[in-house]
Every structure is written in structure tokens, then in C-alpha cells.
Amino acid sequence: MLLAIDVGNTNVTIGVFDGDRLTHSWRLAALRERTADELGIFVTRLFEQTGVRVTDLLGIVIASVVPPLTRPMEEMSERYFHRTALIVDATNAGMPVRYSPVGDVGADRIVNAVAARDKYGKDGVPLIVVDFGTGTTFDIISRGGEYLGGVICPGIGISAEALFQRAARLPRVEVRKPSTVIGQNTVGAMQSGLFFGYVEMVDGLVRRIRKELEGGEQAIVIATGGLADVLSGESRAIQHVDANLTLDGLRLIWERHSR
């Protein structure tokens, strides 16, 4: 079995694979003050509750965009699971990167690209991965399987929180699809701007990316991240929603390294 951990700015996503099958997954808050012992206690308790045995683990693979949590994750792996974790970045993911400097590519972005290429790009079509995380990112993979670069935008949650924090009379609202575009109260108007505004942003950026990308008209668009399900139904551009794309990418990279 394999333990895969994606350390993001908002959440830590943990998955356990039995072969290529994701058997369990959990989300923890990405608190930067967590110690290796706190993390170890959390994860071992999750294992106990689901009947996963520590002794069954063959390896641990981690992608982290939160440096203060990377070392505690490594220490947790060694102390509680007696494994040296594979820490994934753009230099060891196994995909050519056309980004400068290479090390600036977030680990989660290159992991998503590897998974998308394996799952959707085997016919040599270009790919566009949209990740609705703390930031909304667009990652572009060429026909030949190269990571070309992408786009980084503020996440929808950040935008909603900024409205609440910076405008004295605006409330904090839940991000969801309103019944109409024309809001008839403040909450409805804010939800319309957030929801439909982000849908149009995604569709507009994908349209522009297609124009610059060789073979862009054939590009497959895959969405992942927390709000992918919510937004994809209104998007004209998104063709697939893959909630486990990052965990699958971590598994693929670990398998390649283990071979």
C-alpha cells in the first residue's frame, strides 16, 4: 500500500492506495504550526479507524507547497511509519518542464500535469488542467507531454473573503450557484459575481489558451480541486472533473521512482 499526501495552502489531502485503487482519503486543515508528532498522531488514528495497517505501507510520497510543513511531514514519515518519503517537485516528477526557473513550478501543479497526461493525454492531445484551490491555476501540457506553463489567479474563496474584509457593508457569503444572474439582494448579487464571474473567467482563459497552444482546438480540459464540481456544470470549457487527480499523480510518480 502507498500513502500519498498533498500539502496545500488550505488543506492537507491524504490518500491510501492499494495498488492503483484509492481506498481511503481524508482532508486536514493545513495548519503551519503542526509538528511531526501531531501529524503522526492524526494519520495513525485515521489508519486505526479504517483498519489500515502501518506495516502494509510500501512507501510514502508527498507534494508540498507549504515549506513550514514539508519537514514535519518528512519527520512524521520516518518516526511513525519508518519510511523515507519521496518529496516530489518539478525536477523529479518525470515530465519535461518548459518553465523558468523550473523550481518555481508548484509541486501540486506538476503532479496534476503528470496525472492528466497519463489519464487523458495518451492519444497525444494537449491538455489544460484547471485546479480550483486556494488559487485557481491553469496548467498546460503539450502534445508531446511537456509542461509548458500556465496561469495563476486568485481563488474564488480568496475573492469572497476579500470582499467581506475590505467592504464594510458586504457580508461573508457561501460560494454557490444563485438562481439568477441578476441578484435581487446583496447576498444574491455577491454570489452571482463570484460564481458566474469565475465560470466566465475559466471559459475566457481557456479560449485564449487554445489560441496560443499548438493543437489547442483539440485540447482536453480537466478540472480538479474543491469547487470543481460546483463550477463545472456551468462551464462550456470543462470536459472532465477529476477530484483525485493530484493523489493519482503522486501514485504514478512514486511507481516510476520505485521501478
Catalytic residue ranges: 108
Q: Which of 1, 12, 10 is nearest to 246 (CA)?
A: 12
What's the rounded Cα separation, in Å, for the pair 94 and 19? 20
Name every residue whose Cβ is closer than 8 Å to that of residue 26 and which is 6 or more positions away in sequence.
13, 14, 46
The DSSP element (H or E) to which 29 belongs, if any, is strand 21-29
Q: Is the dihedral of CA 1, 121, 86, 39 positive or negative?
A: negative
What's the rounded Cα separation, in Å, for the pair 55 and 50? 14
Count of H-run helices and E-run strands, the chain = 7, 10
